[in-house]
Structure 1
Amino acid sequence: MFRRNSYGVDGRNAPVTRTILIAGAHGQVGQHITEQLGESEHTARAMVRDDSQTDEVADLGGEPVVADLTADVDHAVEGCDVIIFAAGSGGEDVYGVDRDGAINLIDAASEAGVDRFVMLSSTGADDPEAGPDALEDYLTAKAEADEYLRQSGLDYTIVRPGELTNDSGVGTIEIGEDIGLDAGDIPREDVARTLVATLDYDALIGETFEILSGDEPIGEALEWFCSQ
């Protein structure tokens, strides 16, 4: 899985400028993603649900586009190279947004020929029934969206963080394939950094992994995972 390429021997891709759609750009993780991409060479297309959210994501460096995940999203996807799915219902409509909204966007990405799709999922999505009853529907929705993405034919990466916190990010994580639902937490800012950083590694295409707060710098952790 470890790949040598024109950027060097650490598995990273050669630098390239992309148009990246952030689904859920007004959410807590999505705002971090938008800000990080807004400071990069990439174009951060910030997808929000209504006009009242456009100014805030624009201030973060995003180019706002208004679209509803449960309706037509073709205009948001058009011309994008990459999609990062960071949307969520906040527990109010997990099947409508976390599953069906994700599936709707995956279908649009397939039709538009999007190069890559990065999914924000959750630890516990590999076995929803083993988690707390209160999370079963959420984890089931995530699991079904993840599986749909795997079967879509898109180049994908699925990132499953532990419990999300609003602590300041520190840029270090723990990474693995089966860390578990109750193993720990991680700041949303570091989740966003990890989602963005996956785009530097073609070796992460087709991979699903879990992350928590840890001691390894994000880039080094991803390089280690690529080498396994």
Structure 2
Amino acid sequence: MDKTLVIGANGQIGKLLIQMMTEQKLPVKAMLRKAEQAAEFEKMGAEVVIADLEADLPDAAFADCDKVVFTAGSGGKTGADKTILVDLWGACKVIDKAKRHNIMQFVMVSSRDAGDPEHGTPAIKHYNICKHFADKHLIESHLPYTILRPGKLTDGPLTGTITTTRPTDQEQQFISRADVAACILQCLDHSETVNQIEELYQGDMPIQQAFIKSVKGRLG
């Protein structure tokens, strides 16, 4: 059975994803930076590996995994230096390791303006630039990828319904972290999302249908 390595497991989206996966008895390995975080994830039923994105990544983290989810982030309270080290350089290191270990799918949690940082939110332009080049590195790696670009993240409930079309009203360009986690889980189990880039927002279409509609729309 496929095992998924979740990078950034102790983040809000990562933890929600681990919960969903363990509840469904799906094999998952949580990559954590601090050993004292391990007990919570082991109690959920996840395997744990201790590693730091800012240091050398152990091959053992990837060795028995078929899929990787990258949902790590430097956080909004850190400076641009941490954003570069985690969201860009850390992501690139994970991508390179994943390629060496022949990972079958890499799901990247990016940002809605990673495709066009020049016209994104000025205050987080550096963040969007880092996400842009991390996404580019993933695409050019030729790993089977899924890049998810969620809107503004909220702590709202899991609705199970989204849209992949950006709302014209900026006030509607948001999505709950729980729905993002559910979207990641959907991508890990459905091949139609491979080699696709999808924006994610609150919406009224069930997640699987929204992804299928988006892919069919691009195929004409």
The TM-score, its normalising length taken from structure 2, stands at: 0.91
* Residue number in structure 1 paired with 2:62: 77
Give per-residue Cα distances to partners, 1:7-59, cap 9 Å, x unaligned.
Answer: xxxxxxxxxx3100000000000001101111224211001101011112223
Matches within 5 A, 1:1-228: 17-73=1-57, 74-91=59-76, 92=78, 93-176=82-165, 182=170, 183-228=172-217
SS of residue paired to 2:37: helix
Return the alpha-carbon distance in structure 2 between the equivalents of residues 115 and 138 of structure 1.
Answer: 27
Return the alpha-carbon distance in structure 2 between the equivalents of residues 98 and 131 of structure 1.
Answer: 17
What amino acid is aligned across from residue 94 of structure 1 in structure 2?
T
Return the alpha-carbon distance in structure 1 between the equivalents of residues 125 and 83 of structure 2.
Answer: 10
CA contact (8 A) 1:156 1:207 kept: yes
What amino acid is aligned across from residue 188 of structure 1 in structure 2?
R
Return the alpha-carbon distance in structure 1 between the equivalents of residues 204 and 109 of structure 2.
Answer: 21
Return the alpha-carbon distance in structure 2 between the equivalents of residues 167 and 30 of structure 1.
Answer: 16
Return the alpha-carbon distance in structure 1 between the equivalents of residues 210 and 41 of structure 2.
Answer: 29
* Residue number in structure 2 paired with 1:13: none
SS of residue paired to 2:30: strand
CA contact (8 A) 1:69 1:101 kept: yes
Give the number of equivalent residue pairs: 211
Report the CA distance between 1:134 and its aligned residue: 1.3
CA contact (8 A) 1:70 1:104 kept: no
The TM-score, its normalising length taken from structure 1, stands at: 0.88
Identity %: 37
SS of residue paired to 1:70: coil
Return the alpha-carbon distance in structure 1 between the equivalents of residues 51 and 168 of structure 2.
Answer: 34
Return the alpha-carbon distance in structure 1 between the equivalents of residues 13 and 44 of structure 2.
Answer: 13
SS of residue paired to 2:175: strand
RMSD: 1.6
Return the alpha-carbon distance in structure 2 between the equivalents of residues 172 and 203 of structure 1.
Answer: 18
What amino acid is aligned across from residue 34 of structure 1 in structure 2?
I
Return the alpha-carbon distance in structure 1 between the equivalents of residues 161 and 4 of structure 2.
Answer: 24
SS of residue paired to 1:53: helix
Give per-residue Cα distances to partners, 1:64-118, cap 9 Å, x unaligned.
Answer: 1111112222221111100011100003211100010000000000111111100
Return the alpha-carbon distance in structure 2 between the equivalents of residues 58 and 40 of structure 1.
Answer: 15
Return the alpha-carbon distance in structure 2 between the equivalents of residues 162 and 60 of structure 1.
Answer: 28
Task: Provide structure 2 residue ranges, at least 5 long, that are not aligned to the other structure.
Answer: none
